[in-house]
Structure 1
Amino acid sequence: MSLKFIQQNYLKYNKGKGFICGHVDALHATPPAADVFTDKIVESLIKKTGCAGIISSVSRNEADLNRSPNGDNDHAIKEYRDAVKKIVEFLNILDDEQNHITQPYLHLSFHGMKDTHYGPYGIEIGTVHGQSCSPIIKKWFLETITRKASEILPEIEIVFDEKFIGDESIVYHRLGDGIDYSGYHHHFHTFQIEISRTIRSKHRSKIITIFSHMINEFQKNFVNNYS
């Protein structure tokens, strides 16, 4: 079954089914300079889990959605941030008065890296050294993905916050940028995920299984039990 997306000028998004507190995105999905297969990963996770998702429809060379506004990408960043807001509004977890979300929220941003960085089975998780998520959620994420990856694809080597720690813009969803984007406060947890070319091209179904598990476990452990 094909997914229906809301088309915008710089991206397309799907609000999900309304019960998973989180979204996945592929912000460098469009050629040239595309992180190939990241759009396929996002589409599959939307279908498999019911979460929301955002996929770029312009190249990063035209407007990089994984950055702060810089004069050249301002309209694109506004559109991206508006899409995130539409998703949290659809989930009915936005406190309009405070502009904070009221439930734990998981944001997985998928990117591609070369096999030469950590080998053909490398994955790096970036949190800007813990600024884009809470210490509790980071610890849970590390332990859960390590355990699940060892079951599904034991060759995977996972590193955290070494070469690709994440652009500072991923922190702003949580803490705001101090200018005109207030962020969504402490319930918002972002992980930037860099995946090797080999995994994206040859083991995509396995990586989708791993991250489906992460999304469902987050929902079960932190959202459904939240009070």
Structure 2
Amino acid sequence: MTALAAAGASKAPGAAEFVPDTGDLSALRTASGDCRGCDLYRHATQTVFGEGPADAAVVLVGEQPGDQEDQQGHPFVGPAGQLLDRALADAGLDRDTLYLTNAVKHFKFVERGKRRIHKTPGRTEIVACSAWMSAELALIKPKLVVCLGAIAAQAVIDRSFKVSEQRGQVVSLPDYRAIATVHPSAVLRAPDRAEAYAAFVEDLKQVRAEMRKRTAR
């Protein structure tokens, strides 16, 4: 169970009533399309569920889908996803071996003219959606979860987790280990993008080193 799933267990069911009791990732993905666990589905184009191998050793968790993800129905396909692809390659990680998902499965935004601008999901929405990620992780059983950004880290590790202070620290949780870095969109917004990108790649290299260490045991 993720940190926020545990925190919200005694509150409104949110997405939990839409999550099937049994099945595989394909069944979860299909069921998620009908989720009404919070109000974000009302304006989003579609649910954007996680993608990747069902037995992935590493799961990457972001915040929520962006505009391009919402339109295409796949995680990390917009500008931040393209930067992530490049950083993974530079760090020696193969995206095809990883499972990529988000803490929140619907795009939250505000409209400005013809543009849809990302809006950070609130705690209620994050807790409501946590049942999906908990179900994903329970089926995949990863060895390492990589949190991309504060929302993901607080959802997976602990509500008080601060990426600015604890970035790159490996945390042992009951079912897997976790590590947090920035979200690739933060690299795109950084004043010195080259420096931010290099630091991001170093974090991903640490992920690779952690996995090699665990494989060698």
TM over 0.5: no
Q: Give the TM-score taking structure 1 as reference length.
A: 0.43
Q: Give the TM-score taking structure 2 as reference length.
A: 0.44
The structure with the greater share of residues assigned to helix is 2
The structure with the greater share of residues assigned to strand is 1
